Structure 1
Amino acid sequence: MGVSASGVQVPKAGMEPEHKDRVTPYHWKVLWSSAIGYAMDGLDLMILSMVLSAMISDLHLTTAQAGGIATVTLFGAVVGGIGFGMLADAVGRVRTFTWSIVIFAVFTGLTAFATNLTWVNVFRFIAGLGLGGEFGIGMTLVTETWPARYRARATSGVALGFQVGVVLAILTSLWIQPLFGWRGVFFVGIIPALFAAWARRSLKEPELWQRRTKTRRSVPLALLFNSPRAIASTVGLTILCSVQNFGYYGIMTWVPTMLAKQLGFSFNKSGLWTIVTVVGMMIGIVVFGWLADRWGRRPSFILFQLASAAAVWLYTHQTIPVALLIGGAIMGFFVNGMMAGYGALIAESYPTEVRSTAENVTFNVGRAIGGFAPFVIGYLALHQSLSSAIGLISGVYVIAALATLLLIQERKGAELT
């Protein structure tokens, strides 16, 4: 028998009946719906980045005020992630999942009609509330539905949704902004969000959640900390999610600037770097999901964490354009490939009554901490080169590897309780 983070004994991997390994069309529908939802996260992040300069001009904003819009959105996502995660454990995954995306869609569209900074921030905060629930609830639905032997590969499919959203945002901005300005980009952003809500219309609550909530409708947040094992898991997973977000925000925010200012990359070359790096990230997600299901969660994470530390450090010491493009793909492969495994790793560490809460609390607290990366790197760059400041990100991946080694329990293929 194995032991979950809550102290509940569960069967180890390999003890499930063979029929549970069969993947059905419904499994794919759950995965598809969850991936579309998480795509809205990538869409939102990149849309704001691409229209920010136009918003500054139109609304007469300072750079500090413009940066504050992203901070307000991030804060809303953190609050919404924790709130919607708890709600999903209390009243149901599917119902809460749909509410979250509808809120995001409505207030993303309303941003197009904002006439001043105050209303932009109000709409962006509320949109962030809805956005925050997408990762944890979608991952919970997939992990509670898919067969255990394919669990990490299934969550890698959800993680791919984020990168698809990034690409969709780039295309939307390129096609819509020249014709209708930044407001048109936000308004068109309603369409994929509403499509995500439509895709969930026939989903049902996982049987596991229905069985475990017949007599319990409260959200026992204390289960995240109710035993030494639970405390170790919660602390360790929060560290991992913080490092994941710190690295992503730091690299994607500052590397294009480093390429332009220190190495003379043109706008077109920086755009090519972004495309190549995103492709590397997507391949890394697919590979990580396969490895995590074959090798186990802990060895896969430690391999990618140490490889990320090396890749970031080596990348910031390159000056040849070809090496910087290829290196971007390799760096993206490792630093974002790990996104494939968080949904499965967190789900396997907690019981059903607190699983969605755990997914969203650990990831969104990590998102909040990681959101400081652009500021930290910018501050360090005041006293040294930007490439040296970015290179220091390599150190946080070593911290993550130690946290995985010391605090995370291997639960590959375990039956969820």
Structure 2
Amino acid sequence: MSQNAVQVKTPWGNIRWSAFYAAWGGWVLDGFTTFVYAFIDLAATRYLLPATGISLSLTSFFLAAFFAVFLIGWGTSFIFGPLGDKYGRIKILSLSIILFAVGSVLSGLSTNAYEFMVFRFLTGLGIGAEWFSGGTTVAEVFPEDRRVMGAGLFHTGFYFGFLFAALAELVLEPFIGFRGMLILGGLPVIFIIYVRYKTKEPEKWVNVKRAAKNSLKARESFYSIFKKGYAKSTVIASLVMSAVILGLYSGTVYVPTIIEDITAKIAMLKYPVVYYVAAGGAEVSAFTIIGCILMPLMAEKLGRRITLIIFLVLMTISVVLIYDIIFYMNSLFYLYLAIPLLGLGGADFSVFTLWSPELYPTEFRNSGFAAITTFARYFAAALIFIIGYLALLVGFGHAVAYTAIGFVLVMPLVFLMKETRGQKLPEKILSGVKD
């Protein structure tokens, strides 16, 4: 072929959209379940604490505690990474959807704070597995010339789920309350029928399984991510992810909470509180979706490192601006002006959806992706407990603003991560067999 010949990209119609829809749909429902809680966390906490015999003066602490327990469940979902390498991406994707759906329903039926913690753990366990199982699936079924954009499109699902949760908050919550909103998280069980029976495993994984003569081992998959050539990526990416997670679960997710707090201090509101809360949630999700779509273009032009740094800077500025300044101004106007920055910064997660699969071969790609996105949850959970305690000492807004320190601390680590721009997914597995 002549050097001047135009290379034609794979037609979009030739992509295995059934696998994409299975992964993306699961991620949408995942986001819906996650952010439904963000809209009702205050109401649920204020109900559950008295029912458990706990003083409402500890509300701020338990808001953080419930999130932390959820993150511990997400961290524990790592066990499904090696299992996905052994048994298949779609099987684990299906199991994860069932887990977070059941956990969400049981959360809605909780009668006290301790039951609620157990069921939030179960919800986090399922949600954590969906991200890396779905993200690995998309990376492996998309052709190389479309894979980068596929990662961005996949990650929009989580924030479309946020958008749907905002609509549910606006339309349904006044009638069904916080319990009904949580029970809505059981809807994904219906989706599992499509995922389980209509979607085939990625050919890349099937080929590796065939080459290994069906003897892929979960334990070996786990050990491999800490072997020479991969341990650095696993450790550093997990540390960076700790700050990213903390930014989501102490910054983005608390937007509905602070809107409720601000509206409570305004004497006369033109509209019901639910309108302001839903508007804020919809604004965050809309701008994060925009960020997810821009991410592939930025990552290909600027590289993975610089793209992630840009999003981390946006998160740093917006978290400090919103929680350390605007929150104490009690101004909805300035809050809505600042939310787009927070939304765009939230696309930092999507960089990992693209980057993580590029760091590991198919043989243990699911384990590597799982490690990056789950180990950090334990560290973030511990920090959120600390933030909950700080909220009692210095105030909720100031305590959340401290999370911006994490973004600053991990930025230098980003430059130690392997730059994979322009590289294909690793195909050489340890046994020397190609995918």
Aligned to 1:43: 32
Distance (Å, rounded) in 2 between the aligned partners of 1:179 and 1:73: 26
Distance (Å, rounded) in 1 between the aligned partners of 2:311 and 2:66: 33
Distance (Å, rounded) in 1 between the aligned partners of 2:70 and 2:388: 20
Alignment of 1:16-165 (within 5 A): 21-24=10-13, 26-52=15-41, 53-54=43-44, 56-57=46-47, 60-61=51-52, 62=54, 63=59, 68-79=65-76, 81-114=77-110, 119-165=115-161
Note the C-alpha offset of 1:301. 1.4
Which letter does structure 1 place at the counterpart of 2:372? Answer: T
Which letter does structure 2 place at the counterpart of 1:192? Answer: P
Note the C-alpha offset of 1:386. 5.0
Alignment of 1:2-401 (within 5 A): 21-24=10-13, 26-52=15-41, 53-54=43-44, 56-57=46-47, 60-61=51-52, 62=54, 63=59, 68-79=65-76, 81-114=77-110, 119-214=115-210, 215=212, 216-219=215-218, 220=220, 221-227=222-228, 229-254=229-254, 264=265, 267=273, 269=276, 271-315=278-322, 316-317=324-325, 319=329, 321-334=332-345, 336-382=346-392, 384=394, 386-401=396-411
Which letter does structure 1 place at the counterpart of 2:13? Answer: T
Aligned match for 1:402, one of 409, 412, 433: 412
Which letter does structure 1 place at the counterpart of 2:157? Answer: G
Distance (Å, rounded) in 2 between the aligned partners of 1:381 and 1:147: 48
- Is the alpha carbon distance of 1:104 and 1:278 closer, same or farther for their aligned partners in structure 2, counting shifts above 3 Å? closer
**Structure 2 unpaired stretches of 5+:** 1-5, 428-435
**Structure 1 unpaired stretches of 5+:** 1-16
Aligned to 1:3: none
2:314 touches 2:341 (CA, 8 Å); kept in 1? no
- Calculate the aligned-residue CA RMSD, in Å: 3.2
- Is the alpha carbon distance of 1:207 and 1:378 closer, same or farther for their aligned partners in structure 2, counting shifts above 3 Å? same
Distance (Å, rounded) in 1 between the aligned partners of 2:81 and 2:316: 31
2:137 touches 2:202 (CA, 8 Å); kept in 1? yes
After superposition, give the CA deviation of every residue in 1:254-292 in whole Å (9 maximum; x if it has no partner).
555666768956745455333322222221111112211
- Is the alpha carbon distance of 1:194 and 1:19 closer, same or farther for their aligned partners in structure 2, counting shifts above 3 Å? farther
1:82 touches 1:133 (CA, 8 Å); kept in 2? yes
Which letter does structure 1 place at the counterpart of 2:344? Answer: F
After superposition, give the CA deviation of every residue in 1:370-410 in whole Å (9 maximum; x if it has no partner).
33454433444555465544443333222232111123333
Distance (Å, rounded) in 1 between the aligned partners of 2:106 and 2:257: 31
When structure 1 is superposed on structure 2, of 157-166 and 249-258 the one drifting more is: 249-258
When structure 1 is superposed on structure 2, of 136-145 and 232-241 the one drifting more is: 232-241
Distance (Å, rounded) in 1 between the aligned partners of 2:201 and 2:8: 20
- Is the alpha carbon distance of 1:354 and 1:112 closer, same or farther for their aligned partners in structure 2, counting shifts above 3 Å? same
- Is the alpha carbon distance of 1:28 and 1:392 closer, same or farther for their aligned partners in structure 2, counting shifts above 3 Å? same
1:308 touches 1:331 (CA, 8 Å); kept in 2? yes
2:170 touches 2:278 (CA, 8 Å); kept in 1? no
Distance (Å, rounded) in 2 between the aligned partners of 1:261 and 1:172: 20
Distance (Å, rounded) in 1 between the aligned partners of 2:95 and 2:153: 22
1:288 touches 1:337 (CA, 8 Å); kept in 2? yes
Note the C-alpha offset of 1:305. 2.2
- Is the alpha carbon distance of 1:321 and 1:174 closer, same or farther for their aligned partners in structure 2, counting shifts above 3 Å? closer
2:98 touches 2:188 (CA, 8 Å); kept in 1? no
After superposition, give the CA deviation of every residue in 1:90-124 in whole Å (9 maximum; x if it has no partner).
11111221122123334433445555556545444
Secondary structure of 1:371's aligned partner:
helix
1:247 touches 1:373 (CA, 8 Å); kept in 2? no
After superposition, give the CA deviation of every residue in 1:137-169 in whole Å (9 maximum; x if it has no partner).
000000011122332321222221111222223
Distance (Å, rounded) in 1 between the aligned partners of 2:102 and 2:151: 27
After superposition, give the CA deviation of every residue in 1:343-371 in whole Å (9 maximum; x if it has no partner).
22110101111111111221112233233
- Is the alpha carbon distance of 1:133 and 1:306 closer, same or farther for their aligned partners in structure 2, counting shifts above 3 Å? same
Distance (Å, rounded) in 2 between the aligned partners of 1:378 and 1:72: 13
1:102 touches 1:197 (CA, 8 Å); kept in 2? no
Note the C-alpha offset of 1:82. 0.8
Secondary structure of 2:217's aligned partner:
coil
Secondary structure of 2:158's aligned partner:
helix
When structure 1 is superposed on structure 2, of 340-349 and 269-278 the one drifting more is: 269-278
Which letter does structure 1 place at the counterpart of 2:244? Answer: Q
When structure 1 is superposed on structure 2, of 84-93 and 27-36 the one drifting more is: 27-36
When structure 1 is superposed on structure 2, of 250-259 and 184-193 the one drifting more is: 250-259
Distance (Å, rounded) in 1 between the aligned partners of 2:216 and 2:130: 21
Distance (Å, rounded) in 1 between the aligned partners of 2:316 and 2:185: 35
Distance (Å, rounded) in 2 between the aligned partners of 1:254 and 1:111: 19
Distance (Å, rounded) in 2 between the aligned partners of 1:299 and 1:117: 42
Distance (Å, rounded) in 1 between the aligned partners of 2:357 and 2:259: 38
What TM-score do you get using the length of structure 2 for normalisation?
0.79
Identical residues among aligned pairs (%): 25
